[in-house]
Amino acid sequence: MACQNNKDEPVDYRITPEIDLHTFRPGEVSSLLREYFLECRKQEILQVRVIHGKGTGSLREGVHRLLDQMPEEVITYRLGDQDTGGWGATLVTLRRMNPVQ
């Protein structure tokens, strides 16, 4: 994934199987996750962890609502366990992309 720096030159960011939503505004989360899942699927990263924090639970609920709306991209999701963030993280299994015909 590339992003523009101050010199208008692309900067490559490595896609990892984990995204932390703490630094993003709630209004950015939906489009951010959609783009992130697309890049993960392109790179065959099909098991990802979305860190949303524990807090009031509103961000977690929003993430889960979004995942429910993405049946073509998301196979399953569940809250983390004691080793993967508990209810402060959601583990997502993404669908493999269909090969271009």
CA 77 – CA 91 distance, rounded (Å)? 5
CATH code at position 29: 3.30.1370.110
What does pTM read for this prediction? 0.84
Q: Domain containing 43: what range?
A: 17-94
What pLDDT sits at residue 9? 73
Residue 58 within a domain: yes
Residue 1 within a domain: no
Contact 51, 59 (CB under 8 A): no
Strand (E) or helix (H) holding 33? helix 26-42
By C-alpha distance, which of 33, 91, 89 is closest to 57? 89
Residue 53 within a domain: yes
By C-alpha distance, which of 91, 93, 78, 1 is closest to 46? 93
State yes or no: pLDDT of 3 exceeds 70: no
Residue 4 within a domain: no
Residue 11 within a domain: no
What pLDDT sits at residue 38? 97
Residue 101 within a domain: no
pLDDT digit string, tens, across residues 35-92: 999 999 999 999 999 999 998 889 999 999 999 999 999 999 999 999 999 999 999 9
Residue 89 within a domain: yes
What pLDDT sits at residue 71? 96
Domain count of the fold of the chain: 1
CA 65 – CA 88 distance, rounded (Å)? 16
Hey, what are 88's tokens? 């402060």
Residue 100 within a domain: no
